[in-house]
């Protein structure tokens, strides 16, 4: 079971989009067993996949499952709070089908809840929260019938004890960047800050992916996007001096208005197949 997370403290760069489409690519196109966990209090992924915009409510099947999930206190946050209040290095809390929503045989999902907003102010034992993800994954892998090849975490654009826990237990951290001046400065500053807080960083491999790349005739990067990709590669050099190993990929995800529509569909969108296939062939080398 490999753990993959996406992080960038810059909002709107595509953490949620890439996490979800990559997870769906592996489940639908590669027949992998995949779990995706939304740990963002803004619930963007939970909404993008399960919310019916026309009707202004969650899709029927999901809605009834979700209401029970919250009512029966089976959310990821409930598990975390139970662990935080407990003792010992194990999770005395069931991981069952009422916690994990089966979207298909291969693709499973743990939604977020808006209570996640209060996580930072409600927790009293920050160190226990930091060790939660390790204990959770250990229980998931060794004591349940769920047999995942990959577990993805959709992280928020901020850093808290739970993000700390996710990042320090990831095999691969994807950093999406956009073709702008922050593409290079942001990753440098973020990784420098993270490496001071998560010791040792990285336990994971780190892959930088340019998202919303501007292309010509859907194929070539525009000179401007090329320049920002080059800047990101230069940032990699200065980060590596600090002992952090990082790859900046040439395979970019183009800016395409249709990507939002591709989120809730069961199928993997054909128009993104080539770029996700090429991206995965690079990421796979880092994670395996
Ligand atoms: N390649 C793309 N082409 C066009 N639009 C995109 C692309 N990637 C993401 N978007 C759009 O950009 C917006 C932000 O994307 P997304 O929610 O994935 O970013 P995020 O980094 O997860 O944001 P947040 O920091 O709020 O969690 C969304 O409306 C999404 O549909
Ligand atoms: Mg997001």
CA of 159 to the centre of ligand 2 (A): 13
Of all protein residues, whose CA lies closest to atom 27 belonging to ligand 1? 156
With a cut of 80, say whether residue 199 has pLDDT above it: no
Of all protein residues, whose CA lies closest to atom 9 belonging to ligand 1? 14
Q: What is the pLDDT of residues 245-260, one digit of tens each?
A: 789 998 899 999 889 9
20 CA closest ligand 1 atom index: 18
Q: What is the pLDDT of residues 75-104, one digit of tens each?
A: 999 999 999 999 999 999 999 999 999 999
Q: What is the pLDDT of residues 145-189, one digit of tens each?
A: 889 999 999 999 988 999 999 999 999 999 999 998 887 778 888
- Tell me, what's the pLDDT at 196? 79
Is any atom of ligand 1 closer than 6 Å to the C-beta of 158? no
Q: Report the C-alpha dihedral over residues 192, 167, 205, 247, rounded to 10 degrees.
A: -50
- Tell me, what's the pLDDT at 205? 87
CA-to-CA distance for 225 and 232, rounded, in angstroms? 11
Overall average pLDDT of the 265-288 stretch: 92
- Three-state secondary structure call for residue 79: helix
Burial class (CB in 10 A: 0-12, 13-18, 19+), 113: middle
Of the pLDDT bands very low, low, confident and very high (cuts 50, 70, 90), residue 203 is: low
Of the pLDDT bands very low, low, confident and very high (cuts 50, 70, 90), residue 202 is: low
- Tell me, what's the pLDDT at 216? 84
45 CA closest ligand 1 atom index: 17
Per cent of the chain over pLDDT 90 is: 68
With a cut of 80, say whether residue 242 has pLDDT above it: no
Q: Which helix (H) or strand (E) holds 240?
A: helix 223-240
Of all protein residues, whose CA lies closest to atom 31 belonging to ligand 1? 260
- Tell me, what's the pLDDT at 27? 97
Q: What is the pLDDT of residues 48-75, one digit of tens each?
A: 999 998 899 999 999 999 999 999 999 9
**Topology of the domain covering 2-287:** Rossmann fold (3.40.50)
Place of tokens 């010992």: 88
- Tell me, what's the pLDDT at 139? 96
With a cut of 80, say whether residue 45 has pLDDT above it: yes
CA of 40 to the centre of ligand 2 (A): 7
Q: Which residues surround ligand 2, an ion (CB under 5 A)?
A: 15-16, 44
* Cβ–Cβ < 8 Å for 104, 63: no
CA of 55 to the centre of ligand 2 (A): 23
11 CA closest ligand 1 atom index: 25
Average pLDDT taken over every residue of the chain? 91
Q: Which of 10, 16, 157 to mutate to test the pocket of ligand 1 (most atoms within 8 A of CB)?
A: 16
With a cut of 70, say whether residue 4 has pLDDT above it: yes
- Tell me, what's the pLDDT at 237? 81
- Tell me, what's the pLDDT at 200? 65
pTM: 0.95
Q: Nearest 5 degrees, angle CA 284-CA 276-CA 16?
A: 95
Distance of CA 125 to the CA centre of its chain: 24
Q: From 235, 171, 179, select the one nearest 210 (Cα to Cα).
A: 179
- Tell me, what's the pLDDT at 50? 93
Of the pLDDT bands very low, low, confident and very high (cuts 50, 70, 90), residue 197 is: confident
- Tell me, what's the pLDDT at 278? 93
Is any atom of ligand 1 closer than 6 Å to the C-beta of 211? yes
Overall average pLDDT of the 11-34 stretch: 97
176 CA closest ligand 1 atom index: 21
HEC per residue, 144-186: CCCCCCEEEEECCCCCCHHHHHHHCCCCEEEEEECCCCHHHHH
CA of 14 to the centre of ligand 2 (A): 7
Q: Where are the domains of the chain?
A: 2-287
- Tell me, what's the pLDDT at 201? 65
Of all protein residues, whose CA lies closest to atom 29 belonging to ligand 1? 260
Distance of CA 132 to the CA centre of its chain: 17
- Tell me, what's the pLDDT at 67? 95
Is any atom of ligand 1 closer than 6 Å to the C-beta of 13? yes
């Amino acid at each position: 079971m490999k753990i993959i997370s996406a992080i960038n403290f810059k909002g709107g760069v595509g953490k949620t989009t890439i996490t979800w489409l990559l997870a769906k690519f592996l489940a639908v196109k590669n027949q992998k067993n995949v779990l995706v966990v939304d740990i963002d209090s803004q619930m963007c992924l939970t909404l993008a996949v399960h919310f019916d915009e026309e009707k202004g409510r969650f899709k029927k099947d999901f809605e009834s499952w979700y209401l029970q999930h919250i009512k029966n206190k089976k959310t990821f946050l409930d598990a975390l709070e139970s662990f935080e209040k407990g003792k010992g290095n194990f999770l005395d809390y069931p991981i069952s089908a009422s916690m994990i929503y089966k979207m298909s045989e291969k693709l499973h999902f743990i939604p977020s809840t808006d209570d996640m907003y209060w996580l930072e102010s409600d927790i009293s034992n920050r160190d226990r929260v930091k060790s939660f993800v390790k204990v959770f994954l250990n229980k998931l892998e060794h004591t349940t019938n769920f047999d995942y090849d990959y577990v993805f975490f959709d992280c928020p654009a901020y850093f808290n004890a739970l993000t700390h826990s996710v990042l320090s237990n990831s095999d691969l951290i994807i950093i999406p960047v956009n073709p702008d001046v922050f593409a290079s400065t942001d990753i440098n500053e973020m990784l420098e800050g993270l490496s001071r807080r998560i010791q040792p960083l990285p336990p994971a491999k780190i892959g930088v992916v340019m998202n919303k790349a501007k292309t010509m005739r859907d194929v070539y990067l525009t000179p401007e996007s090329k320049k920002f990709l080059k800047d990101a590669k230069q940032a990699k050099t200065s980060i590596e001096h600090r002992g952090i190993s990082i790859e900046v990929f040439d395979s970019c995800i183009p800016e395409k208005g249709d990507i939002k529509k591709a989120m809730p569909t069961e199928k993997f969108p054909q128009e993104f197949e080539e770029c996700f296939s090429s991206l995965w062939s690079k990421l796979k080398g880092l994670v395996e």
